[in-house]
Structure 1
Amino acid sequence: MDNSPTVLFDSYEQDFQQIIASIRTKLDGDGAKQRKATLRRVEMELDEADEMVSQMEIELQGMPQSIKAPYGVRAKGAKSTLAALKKRAREAHAQSARSELLSDVGGSPFRNVHSSGEEGSAGDRSRLLAGTELLEGGSRRLQDAQRVALETESQGADILRDLRRQREQIENARDTLQTADSSINRASGTLKKMIKRMYQQRVITAAIIVVLLLLIAIILYEKFS
């Protein structure tokens, strides 16, 4: 099993490139009947690609500094590519909605212009205004969705930075504990040596005292005998 710190990044990047190729194929197509379904699939694949970029950034945080720079450039390139495709998808949505509106307006309402006169024209204008408001509402919703996505991305990056700081703090605490454990082991060894020497000194002292007492006893015995 490959334990390289970049193997997961490479895997996510490969999946990302496959999804991007699929999105470009769909956006470059012109199947009018399947346009809505295609755009819905594009949105789903954009979400998948966004998830791949997030995973790449997570893997990037755990890489050693010595190899992180080129992978950081690749992650930024992936984000730029994804942003450009999101913009194309929004434009495709707007174009699809505009085409649908023009198709509706180009049907029976315009035929009624000749038969109904000013009343038909007023109805057409109302429908055009309603369609324009619908387009503007859709554009606002897309902008709101983009803003929420950017805010979420920013929050995710902040969370990743916090997690990285916490991991560094945990690693520093672990190193400190290991250093303290080594110091305690050394101190314990030193104390054991000191205790051993203390007992040795006590034995030597006791032996000296016994010898002195024997000498005193011998001297007193010689003196009084």
Structure 2
Amino acid sequence: MSTLIESYEQQYSNLSADITVCIGKIANSLGGEKQGHIRHVDKLFDELAELLEQMELEIKDLPARDKQKYRTRLVSYKAENKKLLADMKRAKLGLNAREDLLGEEVDNSEDQRTRLLDNTEKLERGTRRLDDGYRVILETEEMGAQILSDLSDQRETIQRSRNRLQETDSALGKSSRALSGMMKRIIQNRVMLGVVILVILFVIIMAIYLIARKKT
């Protein structure tokens, strides 16, 4: 378990280092480049928050002898995360350490700008969620249309198969009736043939009888 926590700590160290580098880039860039760095660092902060949550869950399952040590480290990580968030906000607003010393007027202005930035970030996150939701809706709609198309094709296939079965059944019925007629004619012909044979035999017998009678 401690090995897993140490792995999380290494990941935290890497993420915090990346965030620090990105904050420096934000402070030293403008326009679209700056917005690109901001979006990247937002993703890094999301990953960092998820990592801290996972680390906290793992700490709960640690033995008592290790739990307090890692909890103390986690508190330190969270404090560092808050500091990085504050640094990022100042970098977005174009502030630096010297401006923090200009007095209460600058602080109030910074607070207003920070609140404005927070609102802007919330709006951006909301917009991204709406975009994601709209994309999911489009994908779902496309999937539903594809399913309906497949069902329609399957229904047509079933209908064609049913029509073929009906045609086959009709053909079989006709064939059965034709066979029945043929069998009747065959039976009739055999009966007639039998009658003819009997008649011939009768004639032959009668002829033999008459011939024999004459001789006697």
Q: Under a length normalisation based on structure 2, what TM-score does the superposition of the two structures give?
A: 0.49
Between structure 1 and structure 2, the one with the greater Rg is 2
Q: Under a length normalisation based on structure 1, what TM-score does the superposition of the two structures give?
A: 0.47
